[in-house]
Structure 1
Amino acid sequence: MTAAARGGKNGVGYFDFAFHGARIETPNGGVHHVRLNAFARQNTTERPYAVVNDFIASTLGVAAGLPVPPGNLIGLYGGGHGFVSMAFGERGDAAPPVIPPRFCQERPWEACGIIAFDQWVSNTDRHDRNLSYIADVGVAVFDHDLALINQYHPSGDAASALASDLDVECKSHCLAPHLVDVSFFPEWFDRIASVSRREIQRTVDICRSADLVESSLRDVLVDFVVHRQTRVRSYVDRTRLEYKKVSNWTLDLEGTNGGS
């Protein structure tokens, strides 16, 4: 394994292990102990499910093939858990925010995937600073603390919030007005539909094992994700007026992932 992993133009991105923001300690039998540059999220009073949202959405994004930086739950000193994801960039530099018109023109496949994914996990907070694109490196999709339980507040009920959002499409996506080609959507609908219920259950179960959700909320979360999974095409179709640059809307409600 090389010290640096470079995804090139395949959408994986560049996660710098060697030169900037990382430290490689003495190898043992060819295996290096690596200290990585990463970002950690914790819950806040205003967003008590931020860690759950980010971990579940990011894990499902990876399962569907989206270029989400690798991450996982970690135990925190003093108790509790956070969500840590690897930093994305080139040679240690901070990744620049995406420029939506350029991104949609140069990476329409990923753009369709990001929109479809955000509809799946009900992510209401996609903007230019939680997407990154480096032309010769790749794409990174991150920061999902306002997916899933995104309407919850301390005095509310998370299960009720999910119920109210169960079939609500996400509007005003930052990429939609700049997308010209929607022909890549069906592939992403199928990719999302291919994530098994077992994988969704496993991901949410990890949050239950970490005492981040109760058993009852775990079950509601699984049902929420599974319900929306086969209705992504419908959510995209409902927002077709936002795709102002698309002259030929080729999507319909028939076929794989049709939903209603």
Structure 2
Amino acid sequence: MSRRYREPGIEIESYTSITDDYAGAHDSWWGVAKMHVKAQDHDLPFLLANELICCRLAAAIGLPVLPGEIALHPNGRKCWVTPQVSHAGVTVPPTRGQEVVAAHAPTIAGALVFDCWVLNEDRHEENFLFHPSLGIWLIDHDDALAGSDGRRFNTFAKTTDMTLGWHGFQSTEPPLEALRFWAWRVKNAPMGAIDLALNEANARGLLPKANGATLRKLLRDRKERIDTLVDRFVAPLRSYVGTDDEPSLFQP
């Protein structure tokens, strides 16, 4: 018989009783779980900022992402840390494309729309965590936005309207209604959510204010035009809609 609910994806390895006022009124402990740690690379100054910003924005529109935080490595470098997802003590392996599409097609559509918004061209099978008993999460956004090295900032001064160049799930025929739903979610994302993510990256020393202002304009402009950006990107797939000359996926 199939499981009715998904199993927990985070395994707690040890528990320590809380004996002070932080214990609260309910049963609670300090728990230890494994974390994935990605350290700042000095040649890629925007790596951590991109992870933080995209994690916050994906969560704001309802896409499944792991909770992430900034930590400090013993060698002094800042790191992006997220909890390990495992099943029966084994880390979830890389996703198999067709398996995840069959199980979570609407989420794949959401990832495609989100990646069009934040210019993430590094979405492939290994940028999802997936297990049929646990669920699915989007991961690895370090090269989104201006790129981990900031290479696209000069381009953003000229245009914010560029089409996403590549996506590992572009040819999977994502459900049209799901594409439309997630485009609506992006278009209606409040500027306050964008500002909170950018301000947090700045406050943590990951993103200079001038670069934050550039990304704010980029995210604002692209969310307002997300229908066009997604439509333009999936245009080569227009045949699966049923007609190659349909003017837009987003027309009623």
TM-score (norm 1): 0.81
Shift of 1:169: 1.7
Q: Distance in 2 between matches of 1:244 and 1:101?
A: 20
**What corresponds to 1:227 in structure 2?**
221
Distance 1:129 1:141 in 2: 10
Output one character per residue of 1:85-142: Cα deviation in whole Å (capped at 9) or x when no partner.
1222323311122222232233211111010111111001111111122123200110
Three-state SS of the structure 1 residue aligned to 2:189 is coil
Hey, what does 1:212 align to over in structure 2? 206
Alignment partner of 1:57 out of 54, 59, 70 = 54
In structure 2, what is the Cα distance between the partners aligned to 1:245 and 1:107? 22
The verdict on how the C-alpha distance between 1:180 and 1:52 changes in structure 2, with shifts beyond 3 A counting, is: closer
Write the distance in 2 (CA, Å) between the matches of 1:92 and 1:71.
Answer: 21
The corresponding residue for 2:14 is 23
Q: Higher helix share goes to which structure?
A: 2
Q: Can you give the 5+ residue segments of structure 2 that lack an aligned partner in the other structure?
A: none
What does residue 111 of structure 1 align with? 108
1:95 aligned onto 2:95 = no
Q: Which amino acid aligns with 1:205?
A: N
Output the CA distance in 2 between the equivalents of 1:92 and 1:245. Answer: 44
2:167 maps to 173
**Structure 1 residue identity aligned to 2:230:** V
CA distance in structure 1 between the partners assigned to 2:8 and 2:225 by the alignment: 32
Which has more radius of gyration?
2
Q: Secondary structure at the match of 1:246?
A: helix
The residue aligned with 1:131 is 128
Q: 1:246 to 1:38 in 2, by over 3 A?
A: farther
CA distance in 1, matches of 2:211, 2:230: 27
In terms of mean alpha carbon deviation, does 172-181 or 115-124 score higher? 172-181
Deviation at 1:172, TM superposition (A): 2.8
Distance 1:76 1:218 in 2: 25
Indicate the percent of aligned positions where both proteins have the same amino acid.
Answer: 19
Residue 165 of structure 1 deviates from its aligned partner by 6.3
What do the CA deviations read for 1:53-91 (whole angstroms, capped 9, x no partner)? 111011111111111111122244465532211222323
1:177-214 C-alpha deviation (Å, 9 max, x unpaired): 12252221111112222321112111111111122222
In structure 2, what is the Cα distance between the partners aligned to 1:64 and 1:189?
10
In 1, Cα distance between the equivalents of 2:214 and 2:205? 15
Deviations 1:25-73 (A, max 9, x none): 1244422101222112222143221000111011111111111111122
Separation in structure 2 between the aligned mates of residue 43 and residue 162 of structure 1, nearest angstrom: 24
| 1:8 CA drift (Å) | 4.1
Count matched residues: 240
Structure 1 gaps, min length 5: 1-6, 256-260
Partner of 2:181: 187
Q: Say what the alpha-carbon RMSD is for the aligned residues.
A: 2.6
Say whether residues 1:202 and 2:196 are aligned partners. Answer: yes
What is the identity, as a one-letter code, of the residue corresponding to 1:231? R
Is the 1:67–1:140 Cα contact (8 Å) retained in structure 2? yes
